[in-house]
Amino acid sequence: MKNACILVIEDDKFLRKACEVSLKKRGLTVITAMDGEEGLRQARANGPDLILMDILMPKLSGLETLEALKKDEQTRSIPVVILSNSSADSNIQKAKALGAAGYLVKASLSLQELGDRVLSYLKGESASNHE
Partner 1 sequence: MTAFSKISTSFKPLLFPGAKESQNPPILGLCRLYCVLAICAALLISACFYVNSWLWKEITNAEVFRKGLYGSTQLSRFNFLLNWLGLLSLAGAIIYGFKIARQASIDARRNAQLLQETKQRTMEIAALYATLQDVSEKHELRALLQTMLERAKSLLAASGCAIFLFDRDHNDFEIAVEVGVGMPIGTHLPRSEGLGGRVAETLAPVIVNDYQTWPYRSRVLGQLPIRAAVCVPMIRGGELIGVLGVHEVGGTNRVFTDADAQLLSIFADNAAGAVHTARLLETIQHSEERFRIAAQCASDIVYDWDLVGDHVDYFGALFQKSRAVLPKTRQEYWNLIHPDDRARVEQALHRHFETGTPFSEEYRIGDGKGVYANVADRATAIRNQKGNPIRLIGSVSDITERKHAEQMKSDFVSFVSHQLRTPLSGVKWMLELAMESIESPEELQSYLQDARMSTDRLIGLVNDLLAISRLERGKLQLTFRDLDLAELTQDIVNEITPLSVEKEQTLLVEAASDLPRVNGDAQLLRQAVLNLVSNAVKYTPLRGKIHIQIGREADRVLWSVKDTGIGIPRADIPKLFSKFYRAANVLAVETEGTGLGLYLVRLIMDRLGGKVWCESKEGVGSKFLLSLPPAV
CB of 127 to partner 1, least distance (A): 29
Cα–Cα distance for residue pair 117/131, rounded to 1 Å: 21
Are the beta carbons of 53 and 43 closer than 8 angstroms?
no
> Do 36 and 56 form a contact (C-beta atoms < 8 A)?
no
d(CA 46, CA 7): 9
Coil, helix or strand for 55? coil
Q: Judged by CB under 8 A, does residue 18 bind partner 1?
A: yes
- Decide: is 34 part of the binding site for partner 1 (CB under 8 A): yes
Question: In the bound complex, what is the minimum distance in angstroms from residue 108's beta carbon to partner 1?
Answer: 9
Interaction mask 71-100, partner 1, x per CB under 8 A: --------------xx-x------------
Tell me which residue of 67, 105, 99, 61 sits closest to 86, measured CA to CA.
105
Q: Please select the residue that binds partner 1; options are 58, 71, 74, 96, rule is CB under 8 A.
A: 58
Site membership for partner 1, residue 61 (CB under 8 A) = no
**Total site size for partner 1, rule CB under 8 A:** 25
Q: Are 43 and 75 in contact (CB under 8 A)?
A: yes
- Residue numbers of the site for partner 1 (CB under 8 A)? 11-15, 17-19, 21-22, 25, 34-35, 56-59, 85-86, 88, 106-107, 110-112
